[in-house]
A and B are shown apart, each in its own frame.
Chain A
Amino acid sequence: MEYFLTEEQKTIKSLARRIAEERILPVRAELDEKEEFPWAIIKDLADADMFRVFIPEEYEGLGGGCFELCLVVEELSRVCSAVAVSYAATALGCFTLTEYGTEAQKQKYLPDIASGRKLAAFALTEPTAGSDASAIRTTAEKVDGGYMLNGTKQFITNGGEAEIYTVIALTDKTKGARGASALLVEKDTPGFSFGKKEKKMGIRASATRELIFRDCLVPEENLIGKEGAGFILTMKLFDKSRPGIGAQAMGVAQGALEAAVDYTRQRIQFGQPLISLPVVQNILADMAIQVEAARALVYAAARTVDSGVKKFSEESAMAKVFASDIAMKVTTDAVQICGGAGYMRDYPLEKMMRDAKITQIYEGANEVLRNAIAIELRKRRARTE
């Protein structure tokens, strides 16, 4: 399919692929097995300017948008989703700052993120607040000189590894969601510590930890946007970041498709390669159709995000839901047609199947996003009546 990439976009995509194949592929099984954060690869990505892709040029970035980010995430995820999400979580952790931060905040933090010297993370989820994000309990009480943070964040990607955290906390407990604010918190702030590293089904090389705040004083100038704007900023952030999860999902599906084609070409059963069997051909064809459809939708959604239109919640949710559902289907089918080999840890497919699952869950569970899409359908029809 021709997606009309610019020369620069082609360069970004092909360099991301080269890093994935030369640096990630040789170690991905080991990283997964050891559940080890891929610092050496993060360094390679940083040296290759990959963290500059999504940072504006004024802050030592290359000024790319959601689309360029998706190209990198797709290529990394094609080889290893855990590396892809560790990279993408930094984009998630600094988008709010990039869009709503003050000049001083951006000058202070973005150049270090662009160079890859510092990773970022975004923290919303809590033990009591998952899909019901308004149920957060972490508080940021206004005190002399700043905000006193208290509470626990859960399942935070890049937790413990990142230096810069965007944390959503209640500056006004009485207002519920309207009392939430976004704060930048640096790793070494007194009162900020990390809980256990989670043991996950997939994306095992990525780090997922609790963030614990106990009387953690955050300077006043670290507030992003206005007090009480935390939830709106978060919703806008997810609208922008969801195509990236779509790219992660579509990338792992692409990887599974290629691995399945490779294996079924060389595996001989009934005197012929598996790929000669019509039943296998049908499954492979369906996998390819789904991957390409997901790519088209993810690219279109990402370009919509970058186009300057004001509303893109639905498009972005659609790309995330569709790509993650087909990723689960494609990786499961890939394991199935490769049989015993597909199930073995010596082959990459079982990892891809484990890695795919999370994309249906995080950054808005698919069921929640379908609800949001349906509500929009209903509202739009109601408006025309």
Chain B
Amino acid sequence: MNIVVCLKQVPGTTEVKIDPQTNTLIRQGIENIINPFDTYALEEGVRLKEQHGGRVTAISMGPPQAEEALKEAISRGADEAILLSDPAFAGADTWATAYTLSRAINKLGQYDIIICGRQTLDGDTGQVGPELAEMLEIPFIAYVSKIEEIADRSMRVQRMVEEGYEVIESPLPAVITVVKAINVPRLPSLRGIMKSKSAVIPAWAVKEIDADPGRVGLAGSATKVIKVFFPQRVHRSEIFQGDLKSQTECLIGKLRDAGLV
């Protein structure tokens, strides 16, 4: 079974700052981690390989430093990893990202299942998985909480919904996004770390994946981030004077004016 796991390197903190010039995250000096949801995708891929044989290929689009995330993926059981890195990929929205990933997966050729995390910690959209399936023209199932059965050409999974779960059968190949309930990701192993240290991770650019330059990065993005800002918090206070009765009347009047009572 050929398993592809898509993962993203994200800042390992919620206290990120935005560069006011470019409206992008300031990543310097911040520890980067594998997007936590993607670690469940990786673990599920490695478990499938352990049960059914095959290979797990981890793919990530990002700057050269995203290689660290892919090395960690190898230390946690991936057999190989591919970095999609090209200045032309910068500024991609989910559509351009999915397109870039789909080109790389096409180049890989054989794949039976593609596993993604349900969403990222930074972008939080949850769109790349379904868009990727659309571009590869294969079925898609979101929020998978259990793979019940998987065979050569089909699988049956549980998909988490608000009250309980649905059981869905799908032909393969397919794309799934997984939720936390699906497994407990393993930590790296010593042999995995040693393997990852010597692993050569190929970096594919526009040329290698035979992508249309107009469809990647900022140029290929259907959406643009016009402005990113933290809502300004304004605290105003007013102290009522006088005796208790007049203070209370004042307060009620203010609340009425504000339409709160």
Q: Say yes or no: is A385 at the interface (Cβ < 8 Å to chain B).
A: no
- B175-198 vs A, Cβ < 8 Å mask (1 yes, 0 no): 000000000001111111110000
Q: In the bound complex, do residue B194 and residue A15 qualify as a contact, i.e. CB atoms below 8 Å apart?
A: no
Q: In the bound complex, do residue B187 and residue A11 qualify as a contact, i.e. CB atoms below 8 Å apart?
A: no
A-B contact pairs, 12 of them (CB 8 A): A8-B194, A11-B190, A11-B193, A15-B188, A18-B188, A48-B187, A48-B190, A49-B189, A49-B191, A50-B190, A52-B190, A62-B191
Q: In the bound complex, do residue A47 and residue B194 qualify as a contact, i.e. CB atoms below 8 Å apart?
A: no
Q: Say yes or no: is A220 at the interface (Cβ < 8 Å to chain B).
A: no
Contacts of A12 in B (CB 8 A): 190
Q: In the bound complex, do residue B193 and residue A44 qualify as a contact, i.e. CB atoms below 8 Å apart?
A: no
- A229-247 vs B, Cβ < 8 Å mask (1 yes, 0 no): 0000000000000000000
12 further A-B contacts with Cβ under 8 Å, apart from A11-B190, A49-B192, are A8-B194, A11-B193, A15-B187, A15-B193, A18-B188, A22-B187, A47-B187, A48-B186, A48-B187, A49-B189, A50-B190, A62-B191
CB-CB nearest in chain B for A16: B190
> Top 8 closest A-B pairs, CB basis?
A49-B190, A49-B189, A47-B186, A48-B189, A49-B191, A11-B193, A48-B187, A19-B187
Q: In the bound complex, do residue B186 and residue A44 qualify as a contact, i.e. CB atoms below 8 Å apart?
A: yes
Closest-CB distance, B46 to chain A (whole angstroms): 10
Q: Say yes or no: is A53 at the interface (Cβ < 8 Å to chain B).
A: yes
Closest-CB distance, B215 to chain A (whole angstroms): 40
Which A residues, 1 to 39, have Cβ-Cβ distances below 8 Å to chain B? 8, 11-12, 15, 18-19, 22-23
Complex Cα–Cα for A48 and B187 (A)? 7
Q: In the bound complex, do residue B187 and residue A62 qualify as a contact, i.e. CB atoms below 8 Å apart?
A: no
Contacts of A48 in B (CB 8 A): 186-190
Q: Interface size for chain B: under 10, 10 to 19, 20 to 34, or 35 or more residues? A: under 10
Complex Cα–Cα for A99 and B118 (A)? 50
Of B189, B190, B191, most A-chain CB atoms within 10 Å: B190
Q: In the bound complex, do residue A23 and residue B190 qualify as a contact, i.e. CB atoms below 8 Å apart?
A: no
Closest-CB distance, B124 to chain A (whole angstroms): 24
Q: In the bound complex, do residue B190 and residue A62 qualify as a contact, i.e. CB atoms below 8 Å apart?
A: yes
Q: In the bound complex, do residue B189 and residue A11 qualify as a contact, i.e. CB atoms below 8 Å apart?
A: no
Contacts of A53 in B (CB 8 A): 190
Contacts of B194 in A (CB 8 A): 8, 11
CB-CB nearest in chain B for A48: B189
Complex Cα–Cα for A19 and B188 (A)? 9
Closest-CB distance, A83 to chain B (whole angstroms): 14
Partner-A contacts on B (CB < 8 A) = 186-194
CB-CB nearest in chain A for B186: A47
Closest-CB distance, A114 to chain B (whole angstroms): 11
CB-CB nearest in chain B for A19: B187
CB-CB nearest in chain A for B193: A11
Which A residues, 49 to 63, have Cβ-Cβ distances below 8 Å to chain B? 49-50, 52-53, 62
CB-CB nearest in chain B for A62: B190
Complex Cα–Cα for A44 and B76 (A)? 12
Contacts of B186 in A (CB 8 A): 44, 47-48
Complex Cα–Cα for A44 and B186 (A)? 7
Contacts of B193 in A (CB 8 A): 11, 15
Contacts of A8 in B (CB 8 A): 194
Contacts of B187 in A (CB 8 A): 15, 18-19, 22-23, 44, 47-48
Complex Cα–Cα for A328 and B194 (A)? 37
Contacts of A18 in B (CB 8 A): 187-188
Contacts of B189 in A (CB 8 A): 47-49
Closest-CB distance, A380 to chain B (whole angstroms): 40
Closest-CB distance, B162 to chain A (whole angstroms): 28
CB-CB nearest in chain B for A18: B187
Contacts of B191 in A (CB 8 A): 49, 52, 62
Complex Cα–Cα for A48 and B76 (A)? 9
CB-CB nearest in chain B for A14: B193
Closest-CB distance, A261 to chain B (whole angstroms): 23
Closest-CB distance, B247 to chain A (whole angstroms): 37
CB-CB nearest in chain B for A47: B186
Complex Cα–Cα for A286 and B22 (A)? 52
Complex Cα–Cα for A11 and B190 (A)? 7
Of A11, A48, A50, most B-chain CB atoms within 10 Å: A48
Which A residues, 270 to 298, have Cβ-Cβ distances below 8 Å to chain B? none
Closest-CB distance, A226 to chain B (whole angstroms): 35
Closest-CB distance, B51 to chain A (whole angstroms): 15
Closest-CB distance, B132 to chain A (whole angstroms): 29
CB-CB nearest in chain A for B77: A47
Contacts of A49 in B (CB 8 A): 189-192
CB-CB nearest in chain B for A43: B186
Contacts of B190 in A (CB 8 A): 11-12, 15, 48-50, 52-53, 62
Complex Cα–Cα for A44 and B190 (A)? 12
Contacts of A50 in B (CB 8 A): 190
Complex Cα–Cα for A206 and B138 (A)? 50
Complex Cα–Cα for A19 and B187 (A)? 7
Complex Cα–Cα for A48 and B194 (A)? 12
Complex Cα–Cα for A138 and B189 (A)? 40
Which A residues, 35 to 91, have Cβ-Cβ distances below 8 Å to chain B? 44, 47-50, 52-53, 62
Contacts of B192 in A (CB 8 A): 49
CB-CB nearest in chain B for A7: B197
Complex Cα–Cα for A15 and B191 (A)? 11
Complex Cα–Cα for A23 and B194 (A)? 22
Complex Cα–Cα for A22 and B186 (A)? 11
CB-CB nearest in chain B for A53: B190
Closest-CB distance, B127 to chain A (whole angstroms): 30
Complex Cα–Cα for A49 and B186 (A)? 11
CB-CB nearest in chain A for B75: A15
Contacts of A52 in B (CB 8 A): 190-191
Of A15, A44, A62, most B-chain CB atoms within 10 Å: A15
CB-CB nearest in chain A for B191: A49
- A301-321 vs B, Cβ < 8 Å mask (1 yes, 0 no): 000000000000000000000
Complex Cα–Cα for A18 and B187 (A)? 8
Which A residues, 127 to 141, have Cβ-Cβ distances below 8 Å to chain B? none
